[in-house]
Amino acid sequence: MRMAKIPSSDAHDLIPELLRSDLVNRHAKISKEGDYRLVPILDSAMDEICARGYEIVEGDAHSRDRTPPQVRIRNALSDLPEDVLCQLPMRWETVGDIVIIKLHPSADPYRFRIGDVYASELDADTVCVDRSGVSGEFRQPSMELIHGSKTKSTRLENGIKYRFDVTKVMFASGNVDERERMKNLDCTGETVVDMFAGIGYFTLPLAKFSGAKRVIACEKNPESYGFLVDNVELNEVSHIVEPMLGDNRDIPGECFADRILMGYVQITSEFIPKALQLIKPGGMIHYHDTFYINEYKEKVNEMFTKYCGDRRFVVEGIREVKSFAPSVSHYVADVRILD
């Protein structure tokens, strides 16, 4: 195989340029030989490489097709300082053709080079750095683009298409099991209220697969609401889902919902009175919140006892959704309101 013999001193800038120009054979590994990087090239790249004054050599290049991307990424960035290499993220989030990574501060000076390599090795159009997670009432992300400019894409999960802008709307990938559970519920003929719909995280799988007759999906964040409306159309559930922009405490009516989704955390208890106003006797509330791992059962009972007054309830189950912080987890409680 033909390979460009690139001095390591030039590799930092030249290799990403060759990758962007589609001159590199992406099915073969870049290797190292002394102070040189051996870059497998396409036949169409020979004139360009020679014009730049670099030597072309023949050699054996290992296929990268079965090499884990983590190894390929580290190999492609092997000229970076060792302390940076050790901190490179070996896990990432994907939203269609967008990759989201977290970077150690030591990698910041090399972030655009790193973005180019992750994009190449993972076949992504855009690479973003998640700087500080989500914050604020609307759970907005803090993202920096380090490769590309496209920020909207579609994530396919469990038969549902979620379209959104990764710089404006969060996507809680750790909630995948709960989204799958919503898909598998039997809600035949039910009226469901999703009090914190977001872009349709729980609304969409429930509306598409559970047999629900009507889903009122309320979302306060205009950005998320716009994608909720798009995703309802995209997943062909417009005949079931009624998107509502605004505060869920303004949802009109009483005692009409068979099921209520409360997919928020930390201040969810403030909305229990509204959920109790909307729920029918015998209805189910799926209540999400964060608790210390040694007290979640008593806290759920304590809160519903406080707000239910004379109304009876039973907690049919509590399950951990994901870890939230040291000794704290995100839980969902299935609470049946009996009368």
3-61 tens-digit pLDDT: 889 887 777 667 877 877 778 887 777 877 888 888 888 888 888 888 888 888 887 76
Give the confidence band of 327 by pLDDT, cuts at 50, 70, 90.
very high
Phi, psi of 326 (to 5 degrees): -55, 125
Task: Report the C-alpha gap between 326 and 72 in whole angstroms.
Answer: 33
SS3 of residue 190 by DSSP: coil
Q: What is the CATH number assigned to the segment(s) 1-67?
A: 3.30.70.2580
Rounded-to-integer distance, Cα 217 and Cα 222, Å: 13
Residue 224 to residue 198: CA distance in whole angstroms? 5
The pLDDT of residue 48: 83
Residue 32: the pLDDT is 77
**What digits encode the pLDDT tens for the residues 232-289?**
999 999 999 999 999 999 999 999 999 999 999 989 999 999 999 999 999 999 999 9
Quote the DSSP letter at residue 166.
T
Average pLDDT over residues 115-129: 92
Instruction: Decide: residue 275, CB within 10 A, 0-12 exposed, 13-18 middle, 19+ buried.
Output: buried
Report yes or no: 238 and 232 within 8 Å, Cβ to Cβ: yes
Residue 190 has pLDDT above 90, yes or no: yes
| Spatial CB neighbours of 255, under 8 Å, sequence gap ≥ 6 | 277, 278, 279, 280, 281
Domain edges within the chain:
1-67, 172-337
For the cut 60, the answer to whether the pLDDT of residue 328 exceeds it is: yes
Structure-block tokens of residue 35 = 């102070």
pTM: 0.75
- Nearest alpha-carbon partner for 213 in 253, 243, 258, 250: 258
Alpha-carbon gap, residue 193 to 260, rounded angstroms? 5
Which tokens is 43 given?
């036949």
Phi, psi of 116 (to 5 degrees): -60, -40
Asked if 271 and 263 count as a contact pair (C-beta separation under 8 A), the reply is no
Asked whether the domain spanning 172-337 has the same topology as the one spanning 1-67, the reply is: no
Mean pLDDT in residue range 167-174: 82
Query: Topology of 172-337 in CATH?
Result: Rossmann fold (3.40.50)
What's the chain's average pLDDT? 90
The predicted structure's pLDDT at residue 1? 83
Is pLDDT at 155 greater than 90 in this prediction? no
Separation of alpha carbons 202 and 332, rounded Å: 13
Q: Of 3-12, 136-145, 299-308, where does the model show the most confidence?
A: 299-308
